[in-house]
Amino acid sequence: MEVDTPACSIAAVTDPAIESLKTAYTGPGAPTGRQLYLHTSPEFGMKRLLASGVGPIYQICKVFREGEAGRLHNPEFTLLEWYQPGYDHHRLMDEMEALIQAVLSEPCPVRRLSYGQLFEDILGFNPYPAGSEELRRVAVDQGIAGASALALPDRDAWLDLLMSHCIEPRLGSGMCFVYDYPASQASLARIRQGEPPVAERFELYLDGIELANGFHELGDHAEQRRRFQADLECRQERGQVNPPVDSRLLDALEAGLPDSSGVALGIDRLLMCITGAAHISEVLAFPFDRA
């Protein structure tokens, strides 16, 4: 079922790596004014619907991110997001693969490998236990200019550096699904206990471009509350402003989220891949600098 959830909310995402654009409303219902946050994905609203028992849902909508503009980024962009109750992240990858094959003019090769395998294959080391200093050494050995002087906040940022500078450019053409992320990068995905514990999260790369991010959704409201809290503490440490936490989402999770998986696909980047565009502005009528 196609759904529509609010783009403006009094609560916002807490992820330290994602900033919301802000706006304000004053008038009937909020005579003294109310701070509003533009959604960075429709995830919270859609999960509230899932918890109410609507079944499988999808939505295509504009989302907004503060501070993100470049070759692959426009502050306002389009997501296709959908949720499938009863699916785990592998079954959702199957569905995603079929969707992408259907919109490409020619069948494209597909690979699936775990985050750990990907690092082993391309960089020759196991990323899960690696600490910041080891990761810095790898970055220097890989010839990332300036790596020795970079001051990054945590090991995940070092992993992001290696992923974006060394791995993405070597993914080659076709689809590449990467799954089982380090537990520290779980975001809103379930963590599967094991050695090491991993997040049941996946990303889809098409021709080396990050196109989609999916989760086997975390349904445990207490765990979700702890992660929000940890995000806020991290933001505080880094001097970032803390947005209000979405208590309605937490209430919905407490009422019960069906076991489900969900994914968000960047439509603009998919269009870039299909048309061979080098810059996201080529697939937008009026990109950011002309909006």
Partner 1 sequence: MATYSTSEFKGGLKIMLDGDPCSIIENEFVKPGKGQAFNRVKIRNLKTGRVIERTFKSGESIEAADVMEVQLQYLYNDGEFWYFMDPDSFEQHSADAKAVSESEKWLKDQDICTITLWNGTPLSVEAPNFVTLTIVETDPGLKGDTSGGGGKPATLETGAVVRVPLFVQNGEAIKVDTRTGQYVSRVKD
> For partner 1, which residue of 157, 232, 234, 277 counts as binding (CB under 8 A)?
157
Asked whether position 223 contacts partner 1 by CB under 8 A, the answer is: no
Q: Of 54 and 240, which has the nearer Cβ to partner 1?
A: 240
> For partner 1, which residue of 3, 8, 10, 15 counts as binding (CB under 8 A)?
15
> For partner 1, which residue of 144, 209, 267, 271 counts as binding (CB under 8 A)?
144
CA distance readout (Å), 277 to 3, 11, 131, 238, 285? 30, 35, 37, 36, 13
Asked whether position 267 contacts partner 1 by CB under 8 A, the answer is: no
> For partner 1, which residue of 26, 35, 164, 173 counts as binding (CB under 8 A)?
164
Distance CA 35, CA 108 (A): 45
| 173-212 footprint of partner 1 as x/- string (CB under 8 A) | ------------x-x---------------x------x--
Asked whether position 225 contacts partner 1 by CB under 8 A, the answer is: no
Asked whether position 231 contacts partner 1 by CB under 8 A, the answer is: no
Give a three-class secondary structure readout of 129-160. Answer: CCCHHHHHHHHHHCCCCCHHHCCCCCHHHHHH
User: Which residue in this structure is represented by tokens 């505080």?
Assistant: 236
Q: Rounded to the nearest 5 degrees, what angle is found at the Cα of 113, between the Cα atoms of 216 and 146? A: 100
Asked whether position 114 contacts partner 1 by CB under 8 A, the answer is: no
Binding footprint of partner 1, residue count (CB under 8 A): 31
For the bound state, the minimum distance from the C-beta of residue 143 to partner 1, rounded and expressed in Å, comes to: 9
CA distance readout (Å), 65 to 34, 52, 94, 210? 20, 28, 29, 16
Footprint on this chain of partner 1 (rule: CB under 8 A) = 15, 17-18, 67-73, 144-147, 150-153, 156-157, 159-161, 163-165, 185, 187, 203, 210, 213
